[in-house]
Chains A and B, each alone.
Chain A
Amino acid sequence: MKKVHISTTINGDEVDFLCEPTQTLLDVLRDELHMTGTKEGCGTGDCGACSVTLDGTLVCSCLVLGAEVGDKSIETIEGMAQGEELHPLQQKFIDHVALQCGICTPGLLVASKKLLERNPDPSEEEIRYWLAGNLCRCTGYQKIVEAVADAAQEMRSA
């Protein structure tokens, strides 16, 4: 299959890649760019493990074609920590044991970060509904909800 050439921005870096017209953004990130922090749980938009932001919008990267992302700004889990310093959400996820196996964690963190940008003081219910697109099979969600609420509070008082 003939590949297309795309130039775009990922986590602030200019990136060029070639992809088949049928490859998704998730395939491009993982298989072409070897940015494997973004996970694939279903490939059909149902689990949220592949969450990234595309020009600031939270999307399932398995539902976006690689060929569509030219000249956009993409943020992935790899761009979340600032050097050694973890984002407050990342730290709170660790502190609250909001991750067990961790396969859902990158997607949940990207989605939670977007939530706090839109709503710095979400209620428990708002957190639960916002994260309803991100499946976690290990934790039962409680510690995730607590971690997000705690991170929100810390970020508000910062």
Chain B
Amino acid sequence: MAPKPGSFSTSIPYEEKKLKIVGTEPADRPDAVDKVTGRARYAADYNLPGQLIGKVLRSPHAHARVLSIDTAAAEAVPGVKAVVTRDDFPDMAVEHAASGELMINFKDVTRNMMAREKVFYDGHPVAAVAAVSESAAKKALKLIKVEYEVLPHVIDVEAAMQSDAPILHEDQFTKGVDPTPEKPSNIATRIESKLGDIEAGFDQADLVIEREFRTKPVHQGYIEPQASIANYTDGGQVEVWTSTQGHFVFRAQIAKLLQLDMSKITVTAAELGGGFGGKNNVYLEPLAVVLSRKSRRPVKMVMTRDEVFRATGPTSGTHTKVKIGVTKDGRITAGQAELNYQSGAFAGSSVPMAAITVFTRYDIENVLVVGHDVTCNRPKVAAYRAPGAPMIAFGVESVLDELAEGVGMDPVSFRLKNAAREGTQTHYGPKLGPIGFVETLESAQAHPHMQEKLGPNQGRGVATGFWFTLGKETSATLNVGEDGTVNVIMGTVDVTGGGRSALAMVVAEELGIPTEKVRVKSGDTTALGFNFMTAGSRGTAAGSMATVKASRDAIQKACEVAARIWEVETEEVVWEDGHARPASTNVGDFEPLSLADLARRAGALGGTIAGHAELDVAMGGPGFGTHIVDVEVDRQTGAVKVLRYTLVQDAGKAVYPKFIEGQFQGGAVQGIGMALNEEYIYSEKGTLENPGFLDYRVPVASDVPFINTEIVEVPNPMHPYGIRGIGEVPIIPPIAALSNAIYHATGVRLRDHPLSPPKVLAALDEAAPAIAAE
């Protein structure tokens, strides 16, 4: 029988002990000085001798058959060294793989990086050119002749689900319905998650509210556009430097897509200029490698911002329905939701993850969640910080707010009454372990923010969020230098810039040496065993499991060296405070030996002190958060001003608290941007109308207030330090919290995202007669 997945995965139980380093501030951050002086090297900062510049020709149509591509004139442009199209890439069969929090299918990945039969969205690549200069490459792009047969397109999720909608994939039949339909559909998959008896649950309720919500796609908006540089050498070796959240996963994908041996490919993750889930997918890398192979020169490709918006993953636009029932005394008896999520051009949205999060913050006995993954003529979606969760939290937390009011409870007490705790049965499978949700609600309730007075047109909103801590493959190597200082090679990408410090602190704590003696850097794909990408808030949580294991491995070796010096058994040596000591006075009267003492002598006593870990870290230790926001609504313009914002979240154990505060603030501000301004706007023709920061407006410094943060620590039982993932939860509650606050300021509920001035104004106008009549 095949082993159960996860049965070989590693978790190290929580060890309660006094910590000296974890939970403080590191003496220095290894990446910081290079970043403030401009010396840090991001992917676009790499250059190789003799490099060419690569550029991509993209579809101007939302949906079209590609009848022919003529590259002859482009190839004749002086300075053009290679042109590639679909003919330069092998076709792929259906094969699924995990890539971050979403699943990919190689048949689609190859079609997404370079269109084959059809183009599916405005911005879909159809050809790529490498030339000696950017101007020559651009000139060549203009001379590529593509003959299209334009097809009807569909942009929005509800339209795409209609039976008469233009169909993107003629071979896509809805999975998850029995019997499998005979007609192709844009609904790629239907999923369902159930608990108890939903009808009986609603029968027990005294008050049932059902509402419908819509959200627009938003983009991760990382400031660094995707960039890659590839060098295919004459010996068939491939080197790639790129902007990625997972270089090992990218290596695997490049190998598969181009049918190369993995061992011949080295991928180096450059310093990352923001990802938030958006750099979990290959776009440029395979094109750059093939252009390099064809031209026999290194090829550098950097996306423009326009390309980033048009062709890299935004998150799903959604249509959701939420129905919840409560008893008079405020007990939730049933929760039902339908999640219709755009996946863009190819199947595979975040709907499976989103479906799991719908009601998981609450203890509800009867649940029914149905999800649909829907293809439409937009770029293929990518993960974006807790992918899919903010949109459904918008629906659920808005309905909860209405219900709380309906039963006459304040929003926090209502949530506390129904909060999930240790032992709560989730609707997707497991029972929850020790979690800190109640603690976040209690801290929120006691927070001074709750006592602040509100003026006219001001209102307060509350909402909560839940997300997982992903485990998965994680490797690390630790080498102790002859002077006792330590190099750690990590295989996960430091996506935030604080990850290296956090891992250094954990290693320093384990070894009992100062953090400045530990240097952590990311290794390329030849340096370590496979590492899954930094996704699912796993960077520090899973990364530190590997570094703890590697540290303990090195300590074992250090103790062996001490035993040889003292001529005793290794078991008679213990490691304490950075020193090997005799385990008891019976062993002998030896002076403790420091790591530096041992490292200096290790060479002649068995070899260098080093430690390794190659783990499949178990998933666990989910994170919960509660947000409070106060807004003021301008009734003339519909503008919503955020007056104050407070975020409380369970971090399990905060390794580097100041950095965690920064991630909380950053996540909340992304959520505020998502809530109030950001949206993809499409023309009638199906082309993106706002592919730039001028019209796709992310929050700027003057848009947002200070964000109060409070860290709650309920240790993750599956981690030796109790660490939970923290990066994603902060983006989940803001849309709901803001919408609730707007309601309490104005009496008007918004269920159509974004909560932008025109929408707010329209809702106020619509409600005006009703409110006046009251």
Binding site for B on A (CB under 8 A): 1, 20, 22, 30, 34-44, 46-47, 49, 76-78, 80-81, 86, 90, 93-94, 97, 99-106, 109, 125, 127-129, 131-145
CB < 8 Å neighbour of B497 from A80, A90, A100, A131: A100
CA of A36 to CA of B35, assembled, Å: 11
Is B701 a contact of A127 with CB atoms below 8 Å? yes
Say yes or no: A100 contacts B225, CB within 8 Å. Answer: no
Q: A100-B498, A145-B701 are in contact. Are A43 and B304 (CB under 8 A)?
A: yes
Which residue of chain B has the shortest Cβ distance to A124 in the bound complex?
B706
Q: Does B121 contact A (CB under 8 A)?
A: no
A38 to B36, CA, bound (A): 11
Nearest-CB residue, chain A, relative to B34 = A102
Residues 451-466 of chain B, each 1 if its beta carbon lies under 8 Å from chain A, else 0: 0000000000000000
Q: Do A103 and B223 have beta carbons less than 8 Å apart? A: yes
Contact A94 B32 (CB under 8 A): yes
Contact partners of B31 in chain A: CB under 8 A = 102
Decide: B45 and A101 in contact? CB cutoff 8 A: no
Say yes or no: A137-B221 contact (C-beta < 8 A), given A40-B44, A44-B693, A46-B693.
yes
Separation in Å of the A141 CB from the closest CB of chain B?
A: 4
- Which of B36, B38, B42, B666 interacts with A137 by CB under 8 Å? B666
Interface residue from B135, B661, B702, B707 paired with A129 (Cβ < 8 Å):
B702
Establish whether residues A139 and B135, one from each chain, have CB atoms under 8 Å apart when the complex forms: no
Question: Does A78 lie within 8 Å of B37, measured CB to CB?
Answer: yes
Tell me the minimal C-beta distance from A39 to chain B in angstroms.
7
Interface residues of B in 587-606 (CB under 8 A from A): none
Most B CB contacts (10 A, CB to CB) among A40, A93, A127, A142 go to A142
Q: Is B33 in contact with A86, judged by CB distance below 8 angstroms?
A: yes
Residue among B38, B44, B133, B662 with the highest chain A CB neighbour number at 10 A: B38
B698 engages A135 (CB within 8 Å): yes
In the assembled complex, which residues on chain A have CB atoms less than 8 Å from the CB atom of B224? Answer: 39, 41, 101, 103
B135 touches A101 (CB 8 A): no
- Given A42-B692, A47-B693, A140-B665, A132 contacting B702 (CB threshold 8 A): yes
- For residue A126, give the distance in angstroms from its CB to the closest CB of chain B: 10
* Bound CA–CA A154/B610 (angstroms): 44
A103 surroundings in chain B (CB, below 8 A): 42, 222-224, 273-274
Residues of A within 8 A of B272 (CB): 101
Q: Are B36 and A86 in contact (CB under 8 A)?
A: yes
Known: A86-B33, A143-B665. A37 touches B39 (CB 8 A): yes
Let me know if B495 is at the binding interface, CB within 8 A: yes
Chain A neighbourhood of B41, CB < 8 A:
36
Contacts of B29 in A (CB 8 A): 94
Q: Taking the nearest CB of chain A, how far is it from the CB of B656, in angstroms? A: 9
Inter-chain CA distance A39–B38, complex, in Å, is: 9
List 11 interface pairs A-B (beta carbons < 8 Å), by A numbering: A20-B133, A34-B47, A39-B223, A78-B37, A94-B29, A106-B38, A132-B700, A137-B222, A137-B698, A138-B666, A142-B706
B75 contacts chain A at the CB level, 8 A cutoff: no
The answer for the CA separation of A35 and B33 in the assembled complex, in Å, is: 17
Whether B701 pairs with A131 at a CB distance below 8 angstroms is yes
Given A137-B670, A141-B669: A40 touches B225 (CB 8 Å cut-off)? yes
CA A109 to CA B274, docked complex, whole Å:
18
Closest chain A residue to B696, Cβ basis: A46
A interface footprint on B678-714 (CB within 8 Å = 1, 0 otherwise): 0000000000000011100011111110110000000
Tell me the complex Cα distance, A1–B118, Å: 35
Whether B666 lies near A100 (C-beta < 8 A) is yes
Q: Contact check: which of A100, A102, A106, A135 meets B693 at CB < 8 Å?
A: A135
Q: How far is the CA of A123 from the CA of B42 in the complex (A)?
A: 33
CA distance in complex: A117, B167 (Å): 59
Contact partners of B35 in chain A: CB under 8 A: 99, 102, 105
Taking a contact as CB atoms under 8 Å apart, the answer to whether A137 and B702 are in contact is: no
Docked complex: B658-683 residues within 8 A CB-CB of A: 658-659, 661-663, 665-670
Complex partner residue of A42 from B135, B498, B661, B693, CB under 8 angstroms: B693
Shortest beta-carbon distance from A5 to chain B in Å: 17
Highest count of chain B CB atoms <10 Å: which of A36, A43, A101, A137: A101
Closest residue of A by beta carbon distance from B304: A43
Whether the pair B273, A101 counts as a contact (CB closer than 8 A) is yes
Residues in A neighbouring B273, C-beta threshold 8 A: 39, 101-103
Q: Which residue of chain A lies nearest to B706 when distances are taken between CB atoms in the complex?
A: A142
State in angstroms the CA–CA spacing of A131 and B704 once bound together: 12
A49: min CB distance to chain B, Å: 6
B418 at the interface (CB under 8 A from A): no
Contact (Cβ within 8 A) B40 A102: yes
**Residues of chain B with a CB closer than 8 A to A97's CB:** 498, 658-659, 661-662
CB distance from B677 to the nearest CB of A (A): 13
Say yes or no: is B759 at the interface (Cβ < 8 Å to chain A): no
- Contacting residues, chain A, for B694 (C-beta < 8 A): 44, 46
Q: Which 6 A-B pairs have the closest CB atoms?
A: A37-B38, A103-B273, A102-B35, A140-B669, A140-B665, A46-B693
A140 touches B707 (CB 8 A): yes
